[in-house]
Amino acid sequence: MNRDIYQEPLVSRYTSREMQELFSERFKFTHWRKCWVALAEAQHELGLAAVTAEMVAELKANVDNINFEVAAAKEREIRHDVMAHVFAYGQQCPLAEPIIHLGATSQFVVCNTDLLIQKRALHLIKRALLTVIANLAEFCTRHKDLATLGFTHYQPAQPTTVGKRNTLYLQDLLMDLEYIEQLEGQIKARGAKGTVGTQATFIELFAGDHDKVRELDRLVAQKIGFDQVFAVTGQTYPRKLDMKTAETLAGIGASAHKFAVDLRLLSNLKVQEEPFERKQVGSSAMAYKRNPMRSERMTGLARKLMGLPANFAATAANQWFERTLDDSAIRRMDLAQAFLLTDAILKLYINITNDMVVYPKQVERHLKEELPFMATEKILMACVERGKSRQEMHEVIREHSVAAGLDVKNQGLRNNLLERLADDERVPFDLQELNGLIGNYQQFTGRAAEQTTEFLQEQVAPVLEQYRDLLGDIDATLSV
Amino acid sequence: MNRDIYQEPLVSRYTSREMQELFSERFKFTHWRKCWVALAEAQHELGLAAVTAEMVAELKANVDNINFEVAAAKEREIRHDVMAHVFAYGQQCPLAEPIIHLGATSQFVVCNTDLLIQKRALHLIKRALLTVIANLAEFCTRHKDLATLGFTHYQPAQPTTVGKRNTLYLQDLLMDLEYIEQLEGQIKARGAKGTVGTQATFIELFAGDHDKVRELDRLVAQKIGFDQVFAVTGQTYPRKLDMKTAETLAGIGASAHKFAVDLRLLSNLKVQEEPFERKQVGSSAMAYKRNPMRSERMTGLARKLMGLPANFAATAANQWFERTLDDSAIRRMDLAQAFLLTDAILKLYINITNDMVVYPKQVERHLKEELPFMATEKILMACVERGKSRQEMHEVIREHSVAAGLDVKNQGLRNNLLERLADDERVPFDLQELNGLIGNYQQFTGRAAEQTTEFLQEQVAPVLEQYRDLLGDIDATLSV
Amino acid sequence: MNRDIYQEPLVSRYTSREMQELFSERFKFTHWRKCWVALAEAQHELGLAAVTAEMVAELKANVDNINFEVAAAKEREIRHDVMAHVFAYGQQCPLAEPIIHLGATSQFVVCNTDLLIQKRALHLIKRALLTVIANLAEFCTRHKDLATLGFTHYQPAQPTTVGKRNTLYLQDLLMDLEYIEQLEGQIKARGAKGTVGTQATFIELFAGDHDKVRELDRLVAQKIGFDQVFAVTGQTYPRKLDMKTAETLAGIGASAHKFAVDLRLLSNLKVQEEPFERKQVGSSAMAYKRNPMRSERMTGLARKLMGLPANFAATAANQWFERTLDDSAIRRMDLAQAFLLTDAILKLYINITNDMVVYPKQVERHLKEELPFMATEKILMACVERGKSRQEMHEVIREHSVAAGLDVKNQGLRNNLLERLADDERVPFDLQELNGLIGNYQQFTGRAAEQTTEFLQEQVAPVLEQYRDLLGDIDATLSV
Amino acid sequence: MNRDIYQEPLVSRYTSREMQELFSERFKFTHWRKCWVALAEAQHELGLAAVTAEMVAELKANVDNINFEVAAAKEREIRHDVMAHVFAYGQQCPLAEPIIHLGATSQFVVCNTDLLIQKRALHLIKRALLTVIANLAEFCTRHKDLATLGFTHYQPAQPTTVGKRNTLYLQDLLMDLEYIEQLEGQIKARGAKGTVGTQATFIELFAGDHDKVRELDRLVAQKIGFDQVFAVTGQTYPRKLDMKTAETLAGIGASAHKFAVDLRLLSNLKVQEEPFERKQVGSSAMAYKRNPMRSERMTGLARKLMGLPANFAATAANQWFERTLDDSAIRRMDLAQAFLLTDAILKLYINITNDMVVYPKQVERHLKEELPFMATEKILMACVERGKSRQEMHEVIREHSVAAGLDVKNQGLRNNLLERLADDERVPFDLQELNGLIGNYQQFTGRAAEQTTEFLQEQVAPVLEQYRDLLGDIDATLSV
């Protein structure tokens, strides 16, 4: 690592090697050459005399041994990266030199390679996402019955279960998965469309044979790994696709952010935590701290990720006519960032869910403190069953609840709500009956456990089954 | 209109009455009552003794005659809109009063109604979008052969056709349509989930009968118009859905923005324009102006629309646990704004494409000025066919092109590129041959016309056929 | 209120009447007329014969009696609001009719009025902001000594005081105030610049007298209430100013958001709360709840506000040449929204800080639970003073702290850290000495109280003194 | 450059070495050590016995020879960068080891160094901005008289001058400069505040001497290069400052974006261009092209820059209490990106304005084509002078203008507006008089030239004079 100049933290700190490689120069330029091979081969197969089998063979033989320095020197001279790489490739392929890039425009290699990178990157993301889903499903199963305080407004509301709460994160991730699948259907090859997308040079080369040119488009796409090709394009593939890609990834960011913020709050409550490494230092000054650093990092990374779609929307919306270059520098940065951020976030998500900790004793302690309040809904229902008006009882209970709450806050007393209700003649129960109503608080969780089971069986299991082959070991070790 | 205080311009100036009504108090509160009816009816059907057929009938009879003032007065007192409307409904339904909202939480009516509004609003959007698609398809057909300058970097590149260029806008809109269809599959009822989503009150009401409670959830959803219901929820439906909704609409914004900016540029070139009304004043001081005001307005509205998804992402990402209320005020504004903006944009898009003007004489004039440049690609290909190196010829042509371009700019000369090339001995053609190569410039458009036809037949026609019933007269008259 | 169509919630629910009026049609059109009066009067004063004193008098007499219907009818016909109002004004001023708007372009009235609205709106914001500052200063003073847990990572860190914590919110608001002052210096009149800003019509009217035209510019600005005028403009004032305005307001949004989120967390801890109204219903189902609804609303409103500057940046960045109209619809909405949102947020902030509640018993309870941990920094320092290595002791204390923390979480034990340390021979203190080190926990708050006092005296008091006249009763009653 | 993994394009392609170095590990860690030196030295000077002159000398001697590998190995072990660097520094300073970081928290070095980096980076930005201002001022002077079409709605409006138009870009940049100056006043040291900002450890060290601790705060700040220190802080300096920093830089982005978009449009019109390098290849397929690649790149970079403030706003708004770590990863990326993007944009802006090209022949050609339209305002004024109603004449001229415009568009005729007007009896001028009114079109530019001179003399010159020492050679050579 060069310590004298800025290093991108996504690479130096947060992401997987696999994702970093997809956005490298090596991957890009190697696949430019693969595009040129595909073009020449398809032209040859379709009977273009100028392109011989020997030329194709020569091109194929030189896909991987890129002479980077030659290309870089040429680019400094002519300020055009594609032409520079055509030149460098031509140096290594004297025979094929005249037909490299024949009939193509720069965006032939640039767009098709970009699309391929995104396709591959999306596959990595999908695999990581499925791992999180599997981890969380396992967690939900384990804790499906564990009653815990449910919160609305971050105020104790009614009990739910730890498992049920986590199905909500899972459901978010399933929606993300559906949008990944939708996006996979949108990523098509740009194919061989020529300048401004009219295929004019190709129809010239093939002497007006429209069928051959359509076939060339399809064939090239297939050779570089796509089963679909955009029906029409300008100079580039539609930038609208990038917007959808960014939104799909940002969706994962939003899901992860919600999970991470909740975990940071649970951490404060001491009821649930990310795994903690034995030697980790929480603070230089406060040795006792166990900070939820991974969740906090997820939060920050997700925030950045969620900020990216707007850039892509603006780029798509401001492309003039067949193409303008104001998309170049920003896409160069933001497509990589979007995938790298998602990679980093999912790596953290896997790391955390591999070993997420719950403290049942603390879960119970918090719940019991609020139990009399929790029971008010049940008491309200019971009053209605005894013929009381729901609205009137709601008001009676509200008044005593607020008063009991204030006693806790003002005087540090324990919760005296049941006593207060028993003493109120409008309430048709005595203290014993009221305590009976609370009974086993597990029942206050309603169908939480059943919902969890149903959800896992009906929604999650089929997905994990469908993608069984994608699941496997992902290295979620963090470097910092 | 009240002129003494701020009026939302989306309503006072830009949108359709239909969309305005969907986001009105009347629609909302009427559908809250429909939710309460559905709940009572389903409870009755599933055998809950407390809810009688008479009660249900009473509730049904009072769905539309909302006593707004009673509800408003109550809300001022208790600061809770749902409870205020329960109270007001109860006043009109003395029999059903004790069982209104039985077992439900506020979000039962709020979420289910919100979802219904979005479903309906999305339907209006889809219908308008299809109308634009139909208009543009007709425009593409009409102009599929009309050769025009294609631009990259907003510099003349190679010819394309007017029809072909417009297929690019169409393709963007087809992608929007696919995402609308995807979103339709995501919008499900929140159903009857109770506080924090555990259905605890319902399982209590139905004495532990899980099947009945699941059936209640499904039945209520069906009665209010949904065939799907969220498998699990917290207190509300997942806010992630709103993010997807906003992104789907913002996609339409991006598509429209690109179209509008291009049209504004074409307007400057005097080759294509939005329809102009006979009495319209372009400027208070410059009477001759024909400003592309509708495209400009579309641009601004789309910019705002594209800014909204970030808000929804932040809201989804920051919902704590089963729900926090920081979603309320912002959703109240932004969901309405997102749909209203899209409505306004599509209304403009329909209005413009109903009667979009092309000036073929101007199209031709611009093309001819750049024709020698346009032909360089063809000349380059011809040189290669005669055995010249593509790279060498590219450089020769580049030098002369730049020089010829400078002559135009510096001296106001006409384009002398062909003469320059004919005089260069490295070029294997004389002036006559070069002029011959230019020949009929129509051929420089390659497969533009064919692509247009293929695209319309293969991609657009099936969609228009599928949604034939949705197409029809939409009032695209603008009020300002 | 019209219940049949969408109503802007900012107006119907959240904002002050004063702010709503600033963005009304009445304010706008009245001030257009004031601009026309100022122009005519200045032209007359500078000796332009065509403009007589009688005409000016006639114009002045009709400033307030706007014939809205005439203008609206004309606008429907010609689609140009300024020309429509020139027409309507002319109907009422037959004498002055030929010289209304003489030499001006639409933006003369539009820009100058917009700038005036912003200036006034900013003044309202400044006044409300100062009220919050005064409220918080009073709160800080009252609680400057009250020791409370300080949090980093939302984990107990070291004690601070309630007053000191609140100086951080105050400091944010002081920065906002400085940016308001900076912005006030940027808001200048557009003056009388004519079409595309060249003053060509005015130099024509004044027969080439440059001094008179410069004076006209200055004089008009002064008459409508500005002491500065933009040196140069295109057709409009620079849209960059709007960006700065939005950023300044969004700054207030960010400050308020941080405060609100903290308060929502404190609410969960039961140590600090927004005031609660006696009859307020927290939940339709959970009568006992005291939800921090105002802080939650602030959070949501601030989120929306913080999303607006990007729109203004995009508009400024995409204005082509002397002006394009893609700024119109979006500014119409967003300038109003930015000020209305800020107004709503500050109204809430005032409402909350008017009567914010602290529960000292709960503050103390939380602090004592964590006290042994809090003391580790002090113990560490004491060990260093006894000659131990800071790094070694940090590690020893860290290990025991983590273990003691786990005991709490896993077994529900009370904090046993001091016992653990006393038992470790590497630690140079016994249990009694360690308990002595904890002593009066008030001392753990270091200089928090003194910092608070110094900050209030040195930073806040001068500001409140400077703006004494602006402080006063602001109605912070909420309507919903 | 490592070609196997992703490389940040801002570094590999676009920015200055100076800016890259400011955000390097070397700069950061060197300045951490400088902070530790300043702390020890100040503690020694204020009489803290534990800190000796020898220790301070030892620390000073080891500021630059950072043992990066030792620190990195330690960080891998304990996951805490500051503690790792304390350890590494201590290895090199055995004497001072026990007192390194004495009383401090991590944020002592992190925040103070971050603030210093920003201060320095802002200085680089200011210098580059001033260079652009100087370049543009020179350009305005040169072209202050050159009449050119002014555009509104990107439709020909009235003539202005090339110099005058460019004063608008200059005025935007002057506003940016004012906000830089404002920001410079906001960037203060975090000083020596200790954990959660209470200075508890320092007041302990100095045995309750409040004056000494205040002095320590001030003294440390001064030693590391600040003349101001934040009055109060939590664990970190207020994140609100970052928001203001990002907004200030984004302001430059918006200014540059507007300039760049205009230049791209002017490039299409062939009237103004960025300098073009002799060997630059415009397109791989279209050799003749001279694409405005630098302006396009500026556009894209500025778009990304304008997207960043929202991230900082969200971070500031979501910092809980004294600090949460969700700011870390995102600030690590975004602060660097914001400054690097601004650096890259200004480098481009300098490069372009060093040698921006105008084609007066083309400027004139465009102007003359629209001259009859341009004259309508003048004709309108002349008609009013002859006693005609402004409103009536406006309508007459409007009708003929629209018709003449349509003739141009529909039939390729030359502009026949004057003939049409002369033939209309309502117009009180014949053709000769009308031609006379057009006369020397230079006069249609009104006060454009004078405004330019006044603006340069009154607004720009003083700034350039004030910052004379900052102006100088900046290397604006582009690497790609």
Q: How far apart are CA B344 and CA C330, in angstroms?
A: 12
Whether D25 maps to a domain, the answer reads no
How far does chain B reach from its first CA to its final CA, in angstroms?
15
Interval B281-312: pLDDT, tens: 555 555 567 799 999 999 999 999 999 999 99
Tell whether C377 is within 8 A of chain D (Cβ).
Answer: yes
Judge if pTM exceeds 0.90: yes
Of B198, B377, B381, Cβ closest to residue A448 = B198
Residues B136/A147, Cβ–Cβ less than 8 Å: no
Q: What is the pLDDT of residue A279?
A: 55
Tokens standing for residue B321: 């646990």
Q: Is residue C59 part of a domain?
A: no
Quick check: A198 contacting D, CB < 8 Å? Answer: no
Question: What integer pLDDT is reported at residue B285 of this predicted model?
Answer: 52
Q: Do B154 and D417 touch (CB under 8 A)?
A: no
Q: Which residue of C has its CA nearest to A360?
A: C410
pLDDT of residue A287: 58
* Structure confidence by residue, pLDDT tens digits, A345-382: 999 999 999 999 999 999 998 998 888 888 887 788 78
Is A438's pLDDT higher than 60?
Answer: yes
> What's chain C's average pLDDT?
93
Q: Alpha-carbon distance D121 to D242, whole Å?
A: 13
3-state secondary structure of B51: coil
Nearest to C402 among A290, A376, A397 (CB): A290
Q: How far apart are CA C326 and CA C315, in angstroms?
A: 7
Test D296 with A328 for CB contact under 8 angstroms.
yes
What is the rounded end-to-end Cα distance, in angstroms, of chain D?
15
| Inter-CA distances, A391 with A396, B75, B77, D243, Å | 9, 14, 14, 48
Judged by DSSP in three states, B152 sits in strand
| DSSP strand pairing (A155-161 vs B147-152) | unpaired
Chains in touch with A (3+ beta-carbon pairs under 8 Å) read: B, C, D
Of C11, A446, A365, A58, whose CA–CA distance to B103 is shortest? A446
Q: Does residue C269 form part of some domain?
A: no
Closest Cα partner for D239 from D81, D120, D110? D110
- Residue C332: inside a domain, yes or no? no
Of D199, D377, D450, the CB nearest to C446: D199
Q: Give the pLDDT confidence score for residue A441 in this predicted structure.
A: 79
User: What confidence category does residue D282 fall into, taking pLDDT thresholds of 50, 70 and 90?
Assistant: low
In 3D space, the residue among C260, C274, C358 whose CA is nearest the CA of residue C305 turns out to be C260
Look at residue B261 and tell me whether its pLDDT is greater than 60.
yes
Min Cα separation D236/chain C (Å): 10
Q: For testing the chain B interface, which of D149, D154, D286 should be mutated: the one with the most B CBs within 10 Å?
A: D286
Mean pLDDT on D309-319 = 98
**Distance from C-alpha of D341 to C-alpha of D366, rounded to nearest angstrom:** 36
Q: What is the pLDDT of residue B290?
A: 79
Q: Which residue has the tokens 């008179």?
A: C212
Residues in CB range of C328: below 8 A, 6 or more apart = B296, B297, B300
Which of A42-46, B347-351, D389-393 has the lowest average pLDDT?
A: D389-393
**Whole-number average pLDDT of chain D:** 93
A154 CA to chain C: closest CA distance, Å?
Answer: 6
Looking at the predicted structure, is the pLDDT value of residue B92 above 70?
yes
Q: Is residue D42's pLDDT more than 90?
A: yes
Q: Reply yes or no on whether the pLDDT at C231 is more than 90.
A: yes
Asked if B324 lies within 8 A of A152 by C-beta distance, the reply is yes
User: C231 lies in a domain?
Assistant: no
For B87, name the nearest residue in chain C, comparing CA atoms only. Answer: C284
Q: Which residues in A lie closer than 8 A to residue D74 (C-beta atoms)? A: none
Region C47-66 average pLDDT = 97
Interface subset of A 214-233, CB within 8 angstroms of B? 214, 230-233
The reported pLDDT for the residue numbered D240 is 97
B210 belongs to the catalytic site: no
Interface test with B, best of A55, A196, A265 (most B CBs within 10 A): A196
Structure tokens, D134: 């100087």
Q: d(Cα A210, Cα A214) in Å, to the nearest integer?
A: 6
pLDDT at B131: 97
Query: Quick one: tokens of C456?
Result: 């209030």
CB–CB of A328 and D300 under 8 A?
Answer: yes
User: Given B68, B282, B293, which is nearest C3 (Cβ)?
Assistant: B68
Neighbours of B17 (CB within 10 A): 11
Closest by Cβ to B306, choosing from A314, A444, A445: A314
Judge whether C436 and C373 are in contact, CB under 8 Å.
no
Q: Answer yes or no: is the ipTM higher than 0.90.
A: yes
Degrees, nearest 5: CA angle B14-B16-B20:
100
pLDDT of residue B403: 87
Q: What percent of chain D has pLDDT over 90?
A: 77
Residue C117: other Cβ atoms inside 10 A? 19
Amino acid letter, B398: R
Amino acid at C424: D
Q: Which residue has the tokens 């919600």?
A: A258
**Each residue of C140-158: pLDDT tens digit?**
999 999 999 999 999 999 8
Look at residue B310 and tell me if it is in a domain: no
For residue B416, the enclosing domain spans 375-445
- Please tell me the distance from the alpha carbon of residue D414 to that of residue A316, in angstroms, as a whole number: 37
332-371 in B: which are within 8 Å (CB) of D? 359, 361-362, 365
Distance between CA atoms of residues B232 and A452, nearest Å:
8
Q: How many residues does chain D have?
A: 480
Domain count for chain A, please give it.
1
DSSP 3-state assignment of C283? Answer: coil
Q: Is residue A101 part of a domain?
A: no
CATH of the domain at A429: 1.10.40.30
Yes or no: say if C364 and C161 are a contact pair by the CB < 8 Å rule. no
Gyration radius (Cα) of chain B, Å = 30
Q: Which helix or strand (DSSP H or E) is residue D79 part of?
A: none
Helix, strand, coil percentages in chain C from 3-state DSSP, rounded to 5: 70, 5, 30
Nearest to C338 by CA among C297, C300, C304: C304
Selected residue with higher pLDDT from D374 and B229: B229
SS3 state at D155:
strand
pLDDT in tens, B400-453: 988 888 888 888 777 889 899 999 999 999 999 888 887 777 888 999 999 999
Average pLDDT of chain B, as a whole number: 93
- Secondary structure letter of residue C418 according to DSSP: H
Other Cβ atoms closer than 10 A to C461: 12
Q: Which of D268, D276, D288, D402 has the highest number of chain B CBs within 10 A, making it the mutation to test binding with B?
A: D288
Distance from CA of A44 to the nearest CA of D (A): 21
| D410 confidence band (pLDDT: 50, 70, 90) | confident
**How many C-beta neighbours within 10 Å does residue A459 have?**
16
Residues of A in contact with C366 (CB under 8 A): none
- Tell me what pLDDT residue A277 has: 63
Which of residues 64 through 123 in chain A touch C, CB cutoff 8 A?
A: none
A175 touches chain B (CB under 8 A): yes
Chain C within 8 Å of D408 (Cβ-Cβ)? no
Residue A438 lies in a domain: yes
What is d(CA C336, CA D128) in angstroms, rounded to the nearest whole number? Answer: 36
d(CA B218, CA B234): 17
Active-site residue, from D153, D255, D394, D479: D153
Q: pLDDT tier at A232 (50, 70, 90 boundaries)?
A: very high
